[in-house]
Amino acid sequence: VSTPEQVTGFRSPRVLDRVEAGDARGFDCLGPSPEPASLRVVCWGTRGSISSPGPETVAFGGNTACVEVRTSTGRSIILDGGTGIRRLGAELTRREGPLEVELFLTHFHWDHIQGIPFFAPIHDPRARICVHAPPETGRSVEELFAGQMSRTYFPLPYEALAGSLHFFPVGTGVWALDELAISAFRVCHPGYTVGYEIEFRGLRVVYIPDNELAGDGSSFDDEWYARLVEFVAGADLLIHDAMYTEAEYERRRGWGHSTAAQAVALAASAGVKRLLLFHHDPDRTDEEIQAIVCAAGRELVGSGIELEVEGAAEGRELVVLAPDPA
Ligand SMILES: [Zn+2]
Ligand SMILES: [Zn+2]
């Protein structure tokens, strides 16, 4: 069984693995320097469709979509509430300070919400939880959110949740909190589904877990793709749907997901620095994901495209750093 460490093998000057922002400054004998800006990205769940724990998914993980992004100033947001959010919730309740949660959902398919009933802050009277999500026609974000906790599906009454919940429909504007700015882009996926861009002091992470790119341009219009490239352009880190192999895609055209090659093509044309292949098929073993990542990397050799590609692995932490002023 491979480990996440074996799967990496790149080091970018701007994106370092498991490096504290402070450590990257190096020598401090010249006196204190201002804290460099950073975005810390933790994958709590990387799987698509349904959780898939087991000996074949140890390295990349079996929990469904959930990613945490934390700024060097201590602000934190959560992207999606798949089963990976359960462990994150347990950690949040142990952290010091007020229990304030900003949760951004891309859409309401099970694999993006199923961990929420077991997310400890919703049961914690200290918690204030803001849920941002695209609404559906005729249904509010709260209705969509509470549906999976109705009495048929969940034992506790929704009204009895101890945390205070607040709901915000995601639109086309920019949501800002201190120096953090988040904007959404409607993607090609059944229902009203978005991807998010997170920007902090010039550092940019783009999260698009479910999206059908269809490299031949047959299942979307070129104008949409051009706007998507613009949305993603120059991101320090792109986390993108790469659910299918090329052979699988031929049988699943129109299902709302992409291949690794399609994700690489988007990242390359948008000048992205680093791509995390995400939303792994539940049947995909660690070895198969590693093979997909290696094949994507081989395609880039000699292309002149400066893009690092790897597979999103549960528990993995990446730090996006501002470039060294020197
Ligand atoms: Zn999904
Ligand atoms: Zn979906």
Give the chain's end-to-end CA distance (angstroms, integer): 41
According to the model, what pLDDT value does residue 17 have? 42
Question: Which ligand has its closest atom nearest to the C-alpha of 190?
Answer: 2
- Cα(319) to centroid(ligand 1), Å: 24
pLDDT tier for residue 220 given thresholds of 50, 70 and 90: low
Q: How far apart are CA 115 and CA 112, in angstroms?
A: 8
Kindly report, residue by residue over 68-109, the tens digit of the pLDDT: 999 999 999 999 999 999 999 999 999 888 899 999 999 999
Kindly report, residue by residue over 139-161, the tens digit of the pLDDT: 999 999 999 999 999 999 999 99
SS3 96: coil
pLDDT tier for residue 325 given thresholds of 50, 70 and 90: low
Question: Which ligand has its closest atom nearest to the C-alpha of 112?
Answer: 1
Identify the burial level of 238 via C-beta atoms within 10 angstroms of its C-beta, where 0-12 means exposed, 13-18 middle and 19 or more buried: buried
Q: Is the pLDDT of residue 253 over 80?
A: yes
Protein residues with C-beta less than 5 angstroms from the ion ligand 1: 48, 111, 210
- Cα(324) to centroid(ligand 2), Å: 38
Q: Is the pLDDT of residue 219 over 80?
A: no
Q: Is the pLDDT of residue 52 over 70?
A: yes
- Cα(257) to centroid(ligand 1), Å: 8
0.75 surpassed by pTM: yes
In the block, residue with structure tokens 């950690």: 91
What residues contact 234, with CB distance under 8 A and at least 6 apart? 204, 270, 271, 272
What residues contact 26, with CB distance under 8 A and at least 6 apart? none
- Cα(135) to centroid(ligand 2), Å: 15
Secondary structure of 153-212 as H, E, C letters = CCCCCHHHCCCEEEEEECCCCEEEECCEEEEEEECCCCCCCEEEEEEECCEEEEEECCCC
Would you list the DSSP string of 99-116?
-EEEEE-S--SGGGTTTG
Residue 13 CB neighbour total at 10 angstroms: 10
- Cα(243) to centroid(ligand 1), Å: 9
